[in-house]
Amino acid sequence: MSLAKYFKQSYPSSEKHCLWHGGGHQPEHGVQAICELVSEFIPRLGFNPATDVQVLSPMSRGLVGTRNLNAVLQQLINPPAPEKTEINRGGMILRVGDRVIQQMNDYNREVFNGDLGTISGIDTEEQEVEVDYGGRPVVYDYADLNEITLAFAVSIHKSQGSEYPVVIMPLYMQHYIMLSRNLFYTGLTRARKLAIVVGSKKAISLAVRTTNDQQRNTRLWLRLVQPV
Residue 196: count of CB within 10 angstroms of its CB: 25
Map out the domains of the chain with their CATH numbers.
1-79+152-228 (3.40.50.300)
Round to whole Å and give the CA distance between 46 and 50. 12
How would you write the pLDDT of the chain (228 residues) with one tens digit per residue?
444 444 444 445 556 689 989 877 789 999 999 999 999 999 999 999 999 999 999 999 999 999 999 999 999 999 999 999 999 998 999 999 999 999 999 999 999 999 999 999 999 999 999 999 999 999 999 999 999 999 999 999 999 889 999 999 999 998 988 999 999 999 999 999 999 999 989 999 999 998 865 556 667 666 677 665
The half-sphere exposure of 52 on its side-chain side, counting CA atoms within 13 A, is 16
Quick one: DSSP state of residue 55? E
Q: Are strands 164-171 and 191-199 parallel, antiparallel or unpaired?
A: parallel
How many Å apart are CA 131 and CA 121, to the nearest integer? Answer: 7
The b-or-e profile of 157-192 (16+ CB within 10 A means b, else e) is ebbeeeebebbbbbbbebbeebbbeebbebbeebbe
User: Beta-strand (E) ranges in the chain?
Assistant: 17-21, 53-57, 86-89, 92-95, 99-102, 116-123, 128-133, 136-141, 148-150, 153-155, 164-171, 191-199
